[in-house]
Amino acid sequence: MRIAVIDYGAGNLASVLKGLRAAGSTPFVTTTPRDLETGDAIVIPGVGHFNATAALTTHWQSVIRAHIDAGAAVLGICLGMQWLYEGSDEAPDLPGLGVLSGRCARLIGDAATKIPHVGWNALSRRQPDSRLLAGLPDAPYVYFTHTFAAPVTDDCMSATRHGTTFASTVERQRVFGTQWHPEKSGQVGLAVLQRFLDVARSTS
């Protein structure tokens, strides 16, 4: 199973590639939209500022949308998940892909709640039939490192609280997103990557 990992210049890909390999796939880095055609599924990684998604031009967006419409399994990680939404307050003029409704907003902290949200926090299930989280314990701990986050909507499979309660895992048909890093979340993370590969292999 070949997984296209989109490199748009938003952070180091080594850990994501390593995690996908360990989960049982052959990841490859893509730098042009055409390369997506040679993959069986798509991963959109990314860390850092939403400004970095400017590199995902309208051409990228239309190609990715076409793959989604054709039934491709897509996983957005961290900034990659945020980009699946309509946009982010972090860069108000940049449109996201818009396959998920809502905008990302800044986490609201206080003296006791430091922002960015860095470390291990738990996923609180919002819907019982998440394919990505199938088979995991009730409130698994995973690794986060972010300042902005997505709203809790119908697509939310797990929510997490850090100042704000936000969507930590999302799913809409064959489009998935994790605000947290599966490639840095130990055995739980590897299991979730394996669930994504399972979905990619299936047709539902």
Partner 1 sequence: MTTLAKRLIACLDVRNGAVVKGIKFEGLRDAGDPVALARRYDADGIDELVLLDVTATLENRGTFLDTVRAVADNIFIPFTVGGGIRSLEDARAVFDAGADKVSINSAALRAPELITTLANLYGSQAVIVAMDVARRDQSWDVFSRSGTSRDRRDALTWAREAEDRGAGEILLTSIDRDGTREGFDLDLTSLISGSVGIPVIASGGAGTFEHFSDVFTTGQADAALAASVFHFNDHAIADLKAFLSARNIAVRPAPSC
158-179 b/e with 16+ CB inside 10 Å = b?
Answer: bbbebbbebbbbbbbebbbbbb
- Residues in a beta bridge with 158: 125, 169
Residues in touch with partner 1 (CB under 8 A): 11-12, 14-15, 18-19, 22, 47-49, 109, 113-122, 124, 139, 141, 143, 145-146, 159-162, 165, 183-187, 189-190
Angstrom distance (rounded) from CA 151 to CA 3 = 28
Angstrom distance (rounded) from CA 123 to CA 172 = 18
Task: Name which of 68 and 185 has its Cβ closer to partner 1.
Answer: 185
Torsion of CA 198, 136, 182, 154, to 10 degrees: 80
The least distance separating partner 1 from the CB of residue 162, rounded to whole angstroms, comes to 6
Task: Name which of 36 and 43 has its Cβ closer to partner 1.
Answer: 43
87 in Cβ contact with 94 (< 8 Å): yes
Among residues 67, 90, 171, 183, which one is catalytic? Answer: 183
Among residues 59, 67, 78, 156, which one is catalytic? Answer: 78
90 is catalytic: no
- DSSP character string of 67-124: HHHTT--EEEETHHHHHTSSEETTSTTSB---SS-SEEEE---BTTB-SSEEEEEE-E
The least distance separating partner 1 from the CB of residue 146, rounded to whole angstroms, comes to 8
Residue 111 CB neighbour total at 10 angstroms: 5
59 is catalytic: no
The least distance separating partner 1 from the CB of residue 69, rounded to whole angstroms, comes to 32
The least distance separating partner 1 from the CB of residue 184, rounded to whole angstroms, comes to 5
Q: Are strands 74-77 and 175-178 parallel, antiparallel or unpaired?
A: parallel
The least distance separating partner 1 from the CB of residue 114, rounded to whole angstroms, comes to 6
Task: Name which of 63 and 145 has its Cβ closer to partner 1.
Answer: 145
104 is catalytic: no
Task: Name which of 2 and 21 has its Cβ closer to partner 1.
Answer: 21
Task: Name which of 175 and 192 has its Cβ closer to partner 1.
Answer: 192
Query: Active-site residues: which are they?
Result: 78, 181, 183
